[in-house]
Chains A and B, each alone.
Chain A
Amino acid sequence: MTSIETLMRDSNPMMDPSTEFSEEEIRAFDLLVLTRSGNVEVQERTKPVEPEKTHRRGWLVAAAAFAVVIVVIGAAMFLANPADDVPPATTPPTTQAVIPTTQAVTPTTEAAPTTTAAAVQTDDALSAEQTQFIDDFFAAFNSSEYEGVAGEYSTFLGFFAEDAVFSTSMLADTGMDVYRGELAYYRAMNTEWSVVSCSDEFGLIRCQVDASVDSISHYQDPFRIGITLKVEDGAVTKLLLADNIPVVVPALESFHEWASETYPGSRSQMELGDGSPNRSEESIALWVKLVAEYRATLDG
């Protein structure tokens, strides 16, 4: 019997858009985007002409040429058989092609403000205040001074509201108490975060961060993770950390191999059944001890 998962997948109303849209429909879509995007550029083309720009957008020019051909043919047919109730066009066909272009942009411009604020922001760069906040936030993390009350920005937890929610690859929407265990794990692993870039998107601060972790850094460069923060009234109310699991898990295996050989049975104390780190006090102490020894072994 078909499972619900299979049924769900098979109910996809459009398995493959490339075959389910006709060539004409796809061409019409290309033209729609062309005209709308072309209009955005029209404003720039009032500047001195830059011939090479035409070459860069060769695909658009080709589509534009196609559009003009269609319009010319359409105009010729129209002029040959004008509708009784429509006056003949008095403007050249090429002008007609431009008119819908201009009109087409209007709803686009109007539609954007009615979406969430995020989708319409035209400038997502962080403000100076946000930049300072983020710099201090990551500096506090890297200093390993974690404990602090809300508003105490020299400490990492001081950046968070008391009822902040934390989500990571292993934690689903937990509170600060549970997250403390995660922080202890980071400290045990000598984790450092280096900000690559941040933007203010969809009302959230999204950062690309290079993470360096002692137990695996001898095998590879820092790996990229994503950290998203919701900041309200000067405090982080939600943190989402998107780990780089495909990189982290295999890299950690080298550490676990060493640990299993040196301290048989250690892994069962350091990890839970689902492979996530055991954040109990005893386990964290073991992580600290073994990571330090492992590091020394590699350094030595």
Chain B
Amino acid sequence: MSRNANDRFEALYRAHSLDVLGYCARRTSHEDAKDAASEVFMVALRRIDDVPEGDMTLPWLYTVAKNLMSNRNRSSRRRLRLAAKVADDTDHTVPGPEPQVVRNSEYERLIAALEKLSDKDREILRLVEWEGLSREQVAEMFFVSRAAIDQRISRAYKRLSRTLGVPQRETGTTPVPMEQGGDA
């Protein structure tokens, strides 16, 4: 590896190791997060010349992390389904990683509601609200326009708001939760 590439990787690691670690930890256990995050940096190391600079560095790393973790989750679900089959367990649903780390029931309800969103809407919300990416960065990540991201976030919040009966900031109105007969 060239000196320049070596230096770039070192700078990349110093600047973003905790961000990537945090991203992974928000989606899995601490132990798995370390392993997944280290894999992200191995991909970055191998492709250091392709890692974009500036505002797109972190979204690039998150995209790699997202891909690695979805693959792991798929494998993990396959293994668990297989184990369940062997044990003749009819409940094959596998809980997501988030419930392991939620802090109270209110958040637990939110996490449950998040799970009902589409994968894409859920990830977009988490990237903006948990990872702190700008909507432009997320638009670039998902190869869509900023306006499309705005629409998705707005739609996702409306749905969460209705599901939980919690008002949206913009409207300030309290919707009726769906389980109490609110709009679907």
> What is A's interface to B at a CB cutoff of 8 Å?
1-14, 16-18, 20-21, 25-26, 28-30, 32-33, 36-37, 40-41, 44, 53, 56-57, 59-60, 105, 107-108, 111-112, 114-116, 118-122, 124, 167-173, 199, 201-202, 204, 206, 226, 228, 230, 238, 240, 242, 245
Known: A240-B140, A240-B143. A5 touches B169 (CB 8 A): yes
Whether the pair B169, A3 counts as a contact (CB closer than 8 A) is yes
Known: A13-B101, A36-B38. A167 touches B68 (CB 8 A): no
Max count, chain B CB within 10 A of own CB: residue among A4, A18, A169: A4
Top 8 closest A-B pairs, CB basis? A17-B22, A167-B145, A172-B147, A3-B169, A115-B67, A13-B101, A11-B107, A32-B38
> What is B's interface to A at a CB cutoff of 8 Å?
1, 3, 6-7, 9-10, 13-14, 17-19, 21-22, 25-26, 30, 34-35, 37-39, 41-43, 45-47, 50, 52, 56, 63-64, 67-68, 70-72, 75, 98, 101-103, 106-107, 110-111, 125, 129-130, 136, 139-140, 143-148, 151, 157, 160-161, 164, 166-169, 172, 174
User: Roughly how many angstroms separate A218 CA and B73 CA in the complex, as a whole number?
Assistant: 52
Whether the pair B98, A13 counts as a contact (CB closer than 8 A) is yes
User: Roughly how many angstroms separate A120 CA and B26 CA in the complex, as a whole number?
Assistant: 24
User: Roughly how many angstroms separate A108 CA and B42 CA in the complex, as a whole number?
Assistant: 7
User: Roughly how many angstroms separate A25 CA and B7 CA in the complex, as a whole number?
Assistant: 24
Min distance, Cβ A151 to any Cβ of chain B, angstroms: 24
Whether the pair A115, B71 counts as a contact (CB closer than 8 A) is yes
Known: A124-B47, A238-B143. A12 touches B161 (CB 8 A): no
Whether the pair A40, B50 counts as a contact (CB closer than 8 A) is no
Whether the pair A33, B17 counts as a contact (CB closer than 8 A) is yes
Whether the pair A4, B50 counts as a contact (CB closer than 8 A) is no
> In this complex, what residue of A is CB-closest to B9?
A37
Whether the pair B34, A25 counts as a contact (CB closer than 8 A) is yes
Max count, chain A CB within 10 A of own CB: residue among B39, B72, B166: B39
Min distance, Cβ B119 to any Cβ of chain A, angstroms: 14
Whether the pair A8, B63 counts as a contact (CB closer than 8 A) is no
Min distance, Cβ A287 to any Cβ of chain B, angstroms: 21
- Give 9 A-B contacts (CB < 8 Å), ordered by A residue: A3-B168, A8-B160, A13-B26, A26-B18, A29-B34, A37-B41, A114-B71, A167-B147, A240-B140
Which one of B6, B30, B145 contacts A240 once the chains associate, using CB atoms below 8 Å? B145
Chain B residues whose C-beta falls within 8 Å of the C-beta of A4 in the assembled complex: 157, 160-161, 164, 166-169
> In this complex, what residue of B is CB-closest to A108?
B42
Whether the pair A173, B145 counts as a contact (CB closer than 8 A) is yes
User: Roughly how many angstroms separate A41 CA and B13 CA in the complex, as a whole number?
Assistant: 16
Whether the pair A201, B50 counts as a contact (CB closer than 8 A) is yes
Whether the pair A37, B45 counts as a contact (CB closer than 8 A) is yes
Whether the pair B50, A32 counts as a contact (CB closer than 8 A) is no
Known: A40-B42, A167-B144. A12 touches B110 (CB 8 A): no
> In this complex, what residue of B is CB-closest to A170?
B147
Whether the pair A11, B9 counts as a contact (CB closer than 8 A) is no
Min distance, Cβ B163 to any Cβ of chain A, angstroms: 9
> In this complex, what residue of B is CB-closest to A105?
B42
Chain B residues whose C-beta falls within 8 Å of the C-beta of A206 in the assembled complex: 52
Chain B residues whose C-beta falls within 8 Å of the C-beta of A53 in the assembled complex: 3, 6
Which one of A8, A12, A60, A170 contacts B26 once the chains associate, using CB atoms below 8 Å? A12
Known: A4-B157, A17-B19. A242 touches B10 (CB 8 A): no
Min distance, Cβ A197 to any Cβ of chain B, angstroms: 10
Chain A residues whose C-beta falls within 8 Å of the C-beta of B63 in the assembled complex: 119, 202
> In this complex, what residue of B is CB-closest to A169?
B146
User: Roughly how many angstroms separate A20 CA and B101 CA in the complex, as a whole number?
Assistant: 12
Whether the pair B38, A7 counts as a contact (CB closer than 8 A) is no
Chain B residues whose C-beta falls within 8 Å of the C-beta of A57 in the assembled complex: 6, 10
Which one of B6, B26, B47 contacts A56 once the chains associate, using CB atoms below 8 Å? B6
> In this complex, what residue of B is CB-closest to A22?
B30
Chain B residues whose C-beta falls within 8 Å of the C-beta of A10 in the assembled complex: 107
Known: A1-B166, A4-B167. A172 touches B71 (CB 8 A): no
Whether the pair B161, A116 counts as a contact (CB closer than 8 A) is no
User: Roughly how many angstroms separate A2 CA and B39 CA in the complex, as a whole number?
Assistant: 38
Min distance, Cβ B78 to any Cβ of chain A, angstroms: 12
Which one of B39, B68, B110, B147 contacts A171 once the chains associate, using CB atoms below 8 Å? B147
